[in-house]
Amino acid sequence: MSTFVYMTRCDGCGHCVDICPSDIMHIDETIRRAKNIEPNFCWECYSCVKACPNHAIDVRGYADFAPMGHSVRVRREEEKGTISWKIKFRNGTVKDFVSPITTKPWGKFIPKLADADKPNQGEINSQILYSEPEGLNTNKELPKVEKSSFKKGVYY
């Protein structure tokens, strides 16, 4: 598939241009609206479809193997923390799905490490990472194996 943009819905805001991982959504300089400049580099990841505030972007299955008449539409609602899908088959069958996208208010529970507790003296020389060993939830130290258990070149 590849993405395409509906003329009457696109207002040229550029959200899709900003997000596309493949850099294929560009603003057409004549009509001042977005378009897919390289459909054969589209991964159908739907990043642009999800990002479009006007629902102006849709997907038509790749011409070389997808018969026409289908659609897979999406609405991602960050404030509600959900993503909703509607799949329409060529023969008219419809399936709907809703999934959560986050369990917490957006970004609030991600620490800013510059303000968090500093590592203890000498910890840079240990093997532990941030939040360890506590963050492993094992009430134990970080696991290790003895170097002597290495056996060179043996078939196992």
Q: Which residues are catalytic?
A: 43
Binding segment for another protein among 5-13, 27-35, 119-127 (CB under 8 A)? Answer: 119-127
Q: Over the range 26-57, which residues count as b (16 or more CB within 10 Å of their CB) and which as e? A: ebeeeeebbbbeeeeebeeebbbbbbbeeebb
Binding segment for another protein among 5-13, 27-35, 112-120 (CB under 8 A)? Answer: 112-120
Is residue 122 at the binding interface for another protein, with CB under 8 A as the rule?
Answer: no
Size of the site for another protein (CB under 8 A): 87
Q: What angle do CA 128, 133, 135 make, to 5 degrees?
A: 115
Task: Name the minimum Å distance from CB 62 to another protein.
Answer: 3
Residues 21-40 contacting another protein, CB under 8 A: 21-23, 26, 37, 39-40
Closest CA to 14 of 22, 2, 23, 26: 26
Binding segment for another protein among 5-13, 27-35, 62-70 (CB under 8 A)? Answer: 62-70
Task: Name the minimum Å distance from CB 125 to another protein.
Answer: 7
19/48 Cα distance (integer angstroms): 6
Is residue 64 at the binding interface for another protein, with CB under 8 A as the rule?
Answer: yes
> Of the candidates 8, 100, 121, 122, which one interacts with another protein according to CB under 8 A?
100
Task: Name the minimum Å distance from CB 96 to another protein.
Answer: 10
Task: Name the minimum Å distance from CB 52 to another protein.
Answer: 13
> Of the candidates 42, 52, 56, 57, which one interacts with another protein according to CB under 8 A?
42
DSSP line for 55-79: --EEEE--TTT--SS-EEEEEEETT
Q: Cα dist. 136→40, 104, 140 in Å? A: 43, 21, 8
34/24 Cα distance (integer angstroms): 10
